[in-house]
Amino acid sequence: MKKDVSLDISLLEPHVTKDKLKDLQTKVSSIHKSLWNKTCKGNGFLGWLNLPTEAEKTFGDVKEVAEEIRHDADYLISIGIGGSYLGARATIDFLSDPFQKQNVLFLGHHISSDYAASLFSFLKDKDVYVNVISKSGGTTEPAVAFRLIRQELAKKYSDSELQKRIIATTDAKKGILHDFAEKEKYRRFVIPDDVGGRFSVLTPVGLLPIAAAGCDLQELLKGAKSMQDLCEKNDNVLDNPALTYATARYLLYQQGKNVEVLSAFEPFFQYVGEWWKQLFGESEGKENKGIYPTAANMTTDLHSLGQYLQEGERMLFETFVRLGQTYAEISIPHIEKDPDKLNFVAGQTLSDVNENAYLGTKYAHCDGGLPNMTINAPARNAFSLGQLYYFFEFAVAVSGLLMDVNPFNQPGVEAYKKNMSALLGKPGFEEQKAKLDKKIKGE
């Protein structure tokens, strides 16, 4: 029987205690009910709640196209930004061997000319497929990237071959990308109307590139489904780890702890941390409310951020993610005469050293006045990652509703998009462009 993700909050005391958590049980139960009854704020975007089950409907089609890509192409170019990119990148990085060839490359998640030029040069003699991912097709970064990659691919593929090699993941009925893909007869996968981008990793948005990379979709979905079952059936703030995490964060926020540091001691977790930052930042950061999410890669960042975490401003709290099982054990050798003075760790494994680094860090930070908790994930595998994804998604929904914001919209994201569109000369933005031009000139 597989072990489940769990949460240890013992080092949050005295800021968070079981009694303080239980005091919020009535409120948490009400929020829990409003989510599953779909009566909460933002209830039009709750499709993610049942995605682990719903994903089975597209599972076969995704697997079939992914196998085709793996057979007929050297690389899949995944074009997207934010939620259209981070889930796939996080999953592939978490589950893959970093020193083996990765067959999924990413474009459209920034606007770097040098990056694009290097990628196009690299792809000249490679066979590729493209998966362009955008609900509307109007987001500038992936839209520009898609136009550029089409131009590059047209140099070596016929129109009919391009139809085969370009796959659009977009809205079911409308939008620039939908209309373009329909006109060009590209194959399409659908982004559900009721699933926001940052919650879309278990839709074809994430599943197609993840499957193309050879990751185990079935185990990923099994893990998510097991956490879904727990979150649906259990509204006890002490027994459901996602509810415990959400409520503990809320209690810390009420005490002025408005920055959360997500710290992990495995480099494989780095992009899961990036995915988590978007999930929590976009869900909570509105109406001048919210906990600022940031992530640290340990032990590397102990030699950069460690001083601040230990002795800086105490507006912080920390959440460690601890991965249990490792797949390789490397023992540290004993050397005669001990020239490097390391025989005190001889016979121990790198995993032993890493575990003691985690233990030493969490107690040091606690002693320094930095409350922290630990999410225990049994192993670096697809099942545990599926559990983590659903754990965080359910927790941020509850956390946002505790703060009395809509966790499922992101109105603030549009501000920079409108300014950029105006400055680039997009039709319909002339008045905004005139205002910005004056600001730029200092008028």
The DSSP bridge partners found for residue 373 are 319
CB of 309 closer than 8 Å to CB of 318: yes
Q: Spot the catalytic one: 57, 183, 303, 439.
A: 303
- Closest C-alpha to 388, from 1, 6, 2: 6
Catalytic residue from among 63, 164, 417, 426: 417
Told to judge if 282 belongs to the known catalytic residues of this protein, a careful annotator would answer yes
Residue in 235, 283, 351, 307 with CA at minimum distance from that of residue 359: 351
Concerning whether 334 is annotated as a catalytic residue, the answer is: no
**What number of other Cβ atoms are within 10 A of residue 270's Cβ?**
17
336 catalytic, yes or no?
no
Could you say which of 282, 284, 318, 393 is catalytic?
Answer: 282
Catalytic residues, which ones? 282, 303, 417
